[in-house]
Structure 1
Amino acid sequence: MMKRIKVMHIAQAAGGVDRYLRMLLKYLDKEKFENIVVLSQDFHGDDYVGVVSAFEQIHMTRAISIHDFRTIYKVRKMIKKYCPDIVYAHSSKAGAIARIANIGMKNHCVYNSHGWAFNMKVSPKKQKLYILIERMAALLCDKIICISDAEKKSALSKNICRKNKLQVIFNGVDIKAYESSMHGPIHNTDLGISDDSIIVGMVGRLCEQKAPDVFVKAAKLIKQDIPSAHFVIVGNGPLETMIKEYALQNELDDCLHITGWVENPMSYIELFDIAMLLSRWEGFGLVLPEYMMAGKPIVATNIDAIPNIIRDGENGLLVEPDSEMAAYKAVMRLHTDSKLRERLIDRSRKDVHKRFDVRRVAREHEELWTGLVKETMKLEE
């Protein structure tokens, strides 16, 4: 019988990566895999109790810094301490640090960018730098996991690595936990919204990527046709002040509700009548399967990985990015056409169970890691 495979997960950015890790670790087979995490100061050890055998914390910064050399040294010490069979690096910064720290170690290295940094809206100079870093670091790992077909296509178009190094493992959501627990109690009245109001919502950081500015401009148009409409943004971020100022100037301040960061986003999603994700770029868009899981009709942008999840007219509606008019028209279609709305909801519920269950994500990781370790065992025989 093969001994347990030891996997060391290394991550710097919390947020979506934190949620991803916690769901993945929960469903990995504990009899076959031992998991260790080496995480930045942005993570909380209490969240990993019971799902990992060791939790280590190292100070890591998001920006490139001279202090990264010290971080690489500390990560290398951790790799030597635990001697993992697999080093699994998450996101761009930790991905580079972990792969450099792992040079010369007798294990397998796997990397997941969770969305390529070079696909962000950055200057051409920064984009070239990110591409160069990814190409160089790709030489230091065995496999690169892409969270969508669009991410794989993007990697190939930028010549990040050879095709056979890339493996697509779509993200997933914890359907089992959602269906077996209550996600409240949050009620309309908790936000000062009457029960007969129409609620259009989005979950995401108030940052350029998630386009809350387009959301609130669409809200202005929707409000003209649906006076009872209210708009909920679940999240916080650098554009919050700007969004609030726009709402005030356009008499939306009484119907726009920004929750800030919350522990229970699904509780708020359940309040939505229509759910939106108007991203300008998107490596995956994990909130989309969450909308689908909750049975919400979806309006999303036709960009990057989103069409891998949402098929226009089948399980949601797609619109062009940076178009509040297109978003407004899509919301009005869903509001006025109950048959379309129910058809999209029914299809999206089927899709999320078939394609986006996190238990499938765990199984595909297990198969990948087992294959890598068995390959090494054969070479050693």
Structure 2
Amino acid sequence: MKRELLRKIKIAHPTAALHVGGKENGMVNLVNAMSADIFENYIFAFKRGGVLRHRIDPKQCHVVELGNRLGGDLRIYVKLVRHFRRHQFHLVHTRSWSSLLEGMIAAKITGVPLLVHGEHGLIKDDTKVHVWVQRRFWSLADQVMCVSEALRESLVARIGFPRERIRVIKNGVELERFDLKVDRHELKASLGIPPEAPVFGSIGRLVPVKDYATLIKAAKVVLAELPTAHLIFVGDGPLREELRALAQRLEIAAQVHFLNWRKDVPALMQILDVFVLSSISEGMSNSILEAMCSGTAVVATNVGGNPELVVNKETGLLVPSQEAQQMGKAILALLLDAKRRRAMGAAGRRRIEEQFSLQVMVRNYEKMYLEIASRHYDFHRELQDKIDRRFSAQPALASPSYVD
């Protein structure tokens, strides 16, 4: 049977929303950096808006907004089916529970031949039904992938999916985006923070998995010894008022700053003396990657993929989750030792450059898509030439060859 000859590979990326989150940020970074000569990407957002919407390069990716709900809306299935039929995609890439059912069902209805599913940290295993549904739907995928070795082992243990069917592609960060100089004193002043005050903080959604309550309790430990320090949160979410109230009860509200989402995250990283991640579960934290890329020492919980990023006592400190006292002591140790934290920050930057650049991540995704596409399609000579040129520009990555 003669196979279809492709001149470009069309990929659909259904997602619940384009708010700031690890998998959403990674998806946007990916589509912005993929070769537009080889791939044609579409993002289908179930809910309109989102702060990441403006970051998507329209020359790199089409964005289609489908409605006003994150999921659980039958109209989303209907709209996806209509768009999938219209655009005749070659591959659909779903991510986590939030787009698994909608994306895969629409793909199957419309005959999209290739499916990829990715997991990014928070495992949906709260009921036996959820576990069974995921195992069943993942088995339909041509490739299941996740973002860390630790997450792969968790998926095997908790979902019961075969380890050999899960590929690991680690997140990467755009180095140049965090190569900037800022007036630290001026930026601190704009936030109401004294110019010489030590600053620690975190970036992410204010949701239970981030366990920012433990970080606020750790701040109480820090401020007992270093009362001039300030804690900043960059992000928003349903726990905002609850976390504010906790800071007030602990009588540290004056030195805890909730900044909402900001477009100047690379600049804000420059005023952090210590970046802190207090999560109880993580896949591969983009925020840790960005902190290390900024040359900032990290204190992180020893969960999920965090130990694959943070080398304990070299690029930062790892602490047990939900242990405010130990977290506070780790933060304090680095705030009081400028030489040590600067050495850790420099080591972290080197580690990112060597192992976790956005360029390496994008090439690994591109290779995965090409390998999968080659199982079902032949590539036109012009497309194969573009693939060869794309990979020959990276000596460390051999050019794939797919056409018989």
- Report the TM-score when normalising by structure 1: 0.90
For 1:91, the equivalent position in structure 2 comes to 96
Pair 1:111-2:133 in alignment:
no
The answer (yes or no) to whether the contact 2:216–2:247 under 8 Å persists in 1 is yes
For 2:106, the equivalent position in structure 1 comes to 101
Q: Give secondary structure in 2 for the equivalent of 1:144.
A: strand
**Mapping of residues 16-55 of structure 1, within 5 Å:** 16=21, 17-43=23-49, 46-52=54-60, 54-55=62-63
Distance 1:364 1:172, change over 3 A: same
For 2:242, the equivalent position in structure 1 comes to 242
Question: For each residue in 1:310-350, what CA deviation from the matched residue of structure 2 results, as whole angstroms up to 9, or x when unmatched?
Answer: 12112110001111110111122213334432332121111
For residue 81 of structure 1, the aligned residue among 67, 86, 90 is 86
* CA distance in structure 2 between the partners assigned to 1:32 and 1:81 by the alignment: 20
Question: For each residue in 1:145-196, what CA deviation from the matched residue of structure 2 results, as whole angstroms up to 9, or x when unmatched?
Answer: 10111111111113443333211111112112332x5678861111111111
For 1:189, the equivalent position in structure 2 comes to 189
For 2:386, the equivalent position in structure 1 comes to none
* CA distance in structure 1 between the partners assigned to 2:182 and 2:337 by the alignment: 28
Higher deviation after alignment, 317-326 or 105-114: 105-114
Q: Give secondary structure in 2 for the equivalent of 1:270.
A: helix
- Per the TM alignment, residue 144 of structure 1 is displaced from its structure 2 partner at its CA by 1.1
**Mapping of residues 1-381 of structure 1, within 5 Å:** 3-14=7-18, 15-16=20-21, 17-43=23-49, 46-52=54-60, 54-59=62-67, 61-62=69-70, 65=72, 67-68=73-74, 70-103=75-108, 105-118=111-124, 126-179=126-179, 187-377=187-377
Distance 1:52 1:115, change over 3 A: same
- Per the TM alignment, residue 55 of structure 1 is displaced from its structure 2 partner at its CA by 2.6
Distance 1:86 1:211, change over 3 A: same
* CA distance in structure 1 between the partners assigned to 2:77 and 2:36 by the alignment: 29
Distance 1:195 1:305, change over 3 A: same
Q: CA RMSD for the aligned pairs?
A: 2.4
- Per the TM alignment, residue 60 of structure 1 is displaced from its structure 2 partner at its CA by 6.8
Distance 1:342 1:183, change over 3 A: closer
- Per the TM alignment, residue 106 of structure 1 is displaced from its structure 2 partner at its CA by 4.4
Distance 1:53 1:320, change over 3 A: closer
* CA distance in structure 2 between the partners assigned to 1:188 and 1:106 by the alignment: 51
* CA distance in structure 1 between the partners assigned to 2:235 and 2:56 by the alignment: 23
- Per the TM alignment, residue 352 of structure 1 is displaced from its structure 2 partner at its CA by 1.0
Unaligned runs of 5+ in 1: 120-125
Q: Give secondary structure in 1 for the equivalent of 2:280.
A: coil
For 2:389, the equivalent position in structure 1 comes to none
Distance 1:85 1:263, change over 3 A: same
Higher deviation after alignment, 134-143 or 152-161: 152-161
For 1:122, the equivalent position in structure 2 comes to none
* CA distance in structure 1 between the partners assigned to 2:305 and 2:112 by the alignment: 34
The answer (yes or no) to whether the contact 1:211–1:280 under 8 Å persists in 2 is yes
Distance 1:184 1:209, change over 3 A: farther
Higher deviation after alignment, 285-294 or 241-250: 241-250
Q: Give secondary structure in 1 for the equivalent of 2:140.
A: coil
Q: Give secondary structure in 1 for the equivalent of 2:47.
A: coil
Identical counterparts, % of pairs: 22
Higher relative contact order (CA 8 A, sep 6+): 2
Q: Give secondary structure in 1 for the equivalent of 2:340.
A: helix
Aligned length: 371
The answer (yes or no) to whether the contact 2:175–2:357 under 8 Å persists in 1 is yes
- Per the TM alignment, residue 85 of structure 1 is displaced from its structure 2 partner at its CA by 1.5
